[in-house]
Structure 1
Amino acid sequence: MTDTHAHLDRLEAPGEALERARDLRAVLTLGTDTASSEAALGFAEAWPNVYAGVGLHPTEAEAFSQEVAERLRALAAHPRVRASGETGLDYYWDAATPAAQFRVLAFQLELALAHDLVMVFHVRSKDGSDAAERDLEAWLRQHRPPRFVLHAFGGDLRLAETGLELGGYVSFAGNLTYKKNAHLREAAAALPADRLLVETDSPYLPPVPKRGKRNEPAFVRYTLEALALARGVGSGAMERTTDANAERLFRW
């Protein structure tokens, strides 16, 4: 199994969590600012099945500066770094203006192109709106990043269809297992098998039956099982498919 999105620096005992995840093919841990990007690379250097992503989360976009850019450029050149991000658009929180978020998106694309990295996109609108999804959709069509993933897919099929059309991948997290999210399971059943990934977004979005606990990479198996059930295939077959997809995308 592969956890294509985690934040190991935010776990209370990351070393213990990684011991429990030793059987995973790979864990991608993402930075959301310079400090967490440095921490992500530290995990990737210390653990053979861990790889890193470096970047600024959209809610951190107001912190972008020349100094931040230079530090992230240096980190991105490391061979254990496989992703540019976590980046994207977040209009749910008012932490950064859309203009600042688009500046960071442009920079993250620069990193991806310079170092042949996968762009990892977060997208979230305010409740009742799809403004962030529509803006990211337009950005993708304009800039066409060579390799990217829509992480923790939230169910916007129009964005998913655009992402698939442009060669992207769609990743499902623990919210796929939540009873109320039948629409996510319907989407999971309909999307092409060769573009599907699974993740934890640790320590967030713990899957059933671990709700109420801090998520960790080993719990990715529950999302994988939910994805297999939604698609009517065995867990072993789903594991082979998602592992192969992740290896093809991230090249580990």
Structure 2
Amino acid sequence: MTDTHCHLDYMEPEETQAALEASRDFKAILTIGTNPVRNRKALALAEAHPHIWAAVGLHPTEAGLLSPELEADLHHLALHPRVRAIGETGLDFYWTPETRQAQYKALDFQHQLAQTLGLPLIFHVRSKVEGQAETEMAEWLYQNKPAKFVLHAFGGHPALLEAGLVLGAYFGFAGPLTYKKNTALREAAQEIPLNRLLIETDAPFLPPEPHRGQRNHPALARFTLARLAEIRGMETPAMETITDQNAQACFGF
């Protein structure tokens, strides 16, 4: 299996070690940086474990940190051979709607960096007002047309689904796909081409059923994988092969 999005640096050291032990047979795990300190933690984990890779970026809730010095630092880190993506970037109008302008500035810079280095972009999109960030993100995607990108923890919003399908996005599915009331998300998962499906955990967040309320970790990706296979009318091993191949195509592990 492959976990294409988690945050191992958000775990306590003992928790991280247990998570790595439980996922030792995975083909790859991508741990995601969100600010200057966490980018380095993610990269250190990738350097220490051959099946761990890193993404470096500035999360939209941290967009106010952007500066010429941070831009240079991100560029420097992104050149490391264990880095396989830029992000997560995007728009977050749930936690920090007041930083909208700063979020767009950070988003534009990270898009330019990804284009320059030939790396995929990982997008975080979250709203408090229903659909606001998703609609604006879709508009940004149509305007900027990133070469390769992932809609992380895809929530099924119609505007993002349409934009992703038109522009060739990869769609990352996490624990919410397994939640009983998420019928619309499961319906969206049926529309996406098989070669654009990714499995992720967002660990230690977004645990799948039957582990809601607990801390998530990469090995629990198997529940999301099994649910996705069921939705698409496939056996789990076949979906595992497809999503592993998709992760390789996207990130070049």
How does the TM-score come out when normalised to structure 1?
0.97
Q: Indicate the residue corresponding to 1:39 in structure 2.
A: 41
The alignment status of 1:64 with 2:30, answered yes or no, reads no
Q: How many angstroms does 1:208 deviate by?
A: 0.9
**C-alpha separation in 1, matches of 2:44 and 2:165:** 32
Deviation track 1:39-62 (CA, whole Å, cap 9, x = no partner) reads: 111111111111110011001011
Q: Indicate the residue corresponding to 2:10 in structure 1.
A: 10
Deviation track 1:189-229 (CA, whole Å, cap 9, x = no partner) reads: 22211111110000000001111210001111110001011
1:51 corresponds, among 46, 50, 53, to 53
Q: Indicate the residue corresponding to 2:195 in structure 1.
A: 194
Secondary structure at 2:34 match in 1: coil
Q: Indicate the residue corresponding to 1:167 in structure 2.
A: 168
Q: Indicate the residue corresponding to 1:209 in structure 2.
A: 210
Deviation track 1:110-168 (CA, whole Å, cap 9, x = no partner) reads: 220122111000101114x2111111111111111111000101111221221121121
Q: Indicate the residue corresponding to 1:113 in structure 2.
A: 115
Of all paired residues, the percent bearing the same amino acid is 54
Distance 1:119 1:182, change over 3 A: same
Distance 1:95 1:64, change over 3 A: farther
For the 8 Å contact 1:61–1:96, the answer to whether it is kept is no
Distance 1:42 1:95, change over 3 A: farther
Distance 1:46 1:116, change over 3 A: same
In structure 2, runs of 5+ residues without a counterpart are none
Distance 1:96 1:65, change over 3 A: farther
Tell me the amino acid that sits aligned with residue 121 of structure 1. Answer: F
In structure 1, runs of 5+ residues without a counterpart are none
For the 8 Å contact 1:5–1:30, the answer to whether it is kept is yes
For the 8 Å contact 1:4–1:28, the answer to whether it is kept is yes
Tell me the amino acid that sits aligned with residue 24 of structure 1. Answer: F
Moved over 3 A (4+): none
The alignment status of 1:234 with 2:235, answered yes or no, reads yes
Tell me the amino acid that sits aligned with residue 212 of structure 1. Answer: G
Matches within 5 A, 1:79-228: 79-94=81-96, 96-127=98-129, 129-228=130-229
Give the superposed CA RMSD: 1.1
Tell me the amino acid that sits aligned with residue 10 of structure 1. Answer: Y
**C-alpha separation in 2, matches of 1:15 and 1:104:** 32
For the 8 Å contact 1:55–1:87, the answer to whether it is kept is yes
Deviation track 1:4-55 (CA, whole Å, cap 9, x = no partner) reads: 0000000122122111111111111111101111111111111111111001
For the 8 Å contact 2:161–2:188, the answer to whether it is kept is no
**C-alpha separation in 2, matches of 1:108 and 1:120:** 10
**C-alpha separation in 2, matches of 1:226 and 1:95:** 33
**C-alpha separation in 1, matches of 2:117 and 2:37:** 20
How does the TM-score come out when normalised to structure 2?
0.96
Of 94-103 and 196-205, deviating more is 94-103
**C-alpha separation in 2, matches of 1:149 and 1:249:** 9
